[in-house]
Amino acid sequence: MMPPVFRFAPSPNGLLHLGHAYSALLNFDRARETGGRLLLRIEDIDATRCRPEYETAIYEDLAWLGIAWETPVRRQSEHLGDYRAALERLSALGLVYPAFESRAEIARLVAAREVDGPWPRDPDGAPLYPGDAKSLSADERSHLIASGAPYALRLDMQAACRRAARLSWNERGEGPDGERGIVPVRPEAWGDVILARKETPTSYHLSVVVDDALQGVSEIVRGQDLFYATSVHRLLQVLLGLPEPAYRHHRLIRDEACRKLSKSSRSTGLRALRAAGITPAGVRQLVGLG
């Protein structure tokens, strides 16, 4: 049997904190317990927020924690062609359309719709796409694209769900509401998600699904903040004919005020803890892996 493959996939847009340490250590421990492999993937498609110095810090902090990973590390910014190919596949199925509204226009559209009552929000709390770019004619689309207008490429969620109905995933960990075992997908809760933009041929959802398949990841260990996004990931896997990994979502490490940690929260940053004299064993204890 092939050894299981795990991955830790941070974005180099800030310094790692205790929440990252917990996720990375869980992946590392599971890989060791199961005789599996651990990969590290740098999710750096957002060029405006990612910095090389944060990537260097990721390597240093993980090594300090005692984590070992396989090389070469996959850096998403070096594989845009893979994501473009997947996007073209979805386009060929007629599941992708360009939407030209700016963020400000979207906010205005949502406000206008909310005059009649609350507009639906996705599991992260963002309003679903309120526009009607899906109904633009082919001529209108080409005209707008030729004019140089910026656009986002969105998944036609209704059409996608018609093609891939009644999906589920195998949850080996636990969702925010205690979901475990076979979890039915509800991708429609996300509306017409963005798959790419004019300048970037991918998005988080698309690249994570393409990479996990290309890298042969068999068990995805990650935080519960991504639990509901798994619905979109399963849908994309089926539409793209990719294998199904198992998922193990873990609890989130929170600060004293019970908030999810952010990359700017200094007190829980690994560097700050290290400077304060905390050891790698101390970090394990802090996240409950002692």
Which residues are at the interface with ligand GLU (CB under 6 A)? 9-11, 43, 208, 222, 226
Virtual CA dihedral for 31, 269, 208, 231, nearest 10 degrees?
90
| Between 10 and 130, CB nearer to ligand GLU | 10
**Min. distance of Cβ 192 from ligand GLU in angstroms?**
21
Rounded to whole angstroms, the Cα distance separating 152 from 266 reads 34
Tokens representing residue 107 in the block: 């906010």
| Between 144 and 226, CB nearer to ligand GLU | 226
CB 215 within 8 A of CB 39: yes
**Min. distance of Cβ 1 from ligand GLU in angstroms?**
24
| Between 23 and 97, CB nearer to ligand GLU | 23
**Min. distance of Cβ 261 from ligand GLU in angstroms?**
11
| Between 160 and 208, CB nearer to ligand GLU | 208
**Min. distance of Cβ 225 from ligand GLU in angstroms?**
7
| Between 74 and 101, CB nearer to ligand GLU | 74
Alpha helix ranges (H) inside the chain = 18-34, 52-65, 80-92, 103-113, 138-146, 157-163, 204-214, 230-239, 270-275, 280-286
Rounded to whole angstroms, the Cα distance separating 243 from 235 reads 11
Tokens representing residue 75 in the block: 């850096």
DSSP β-bridge partners for residue 75:
42
**Min. distance of Cβ 11 from ligand GLU in angstroms?**
4
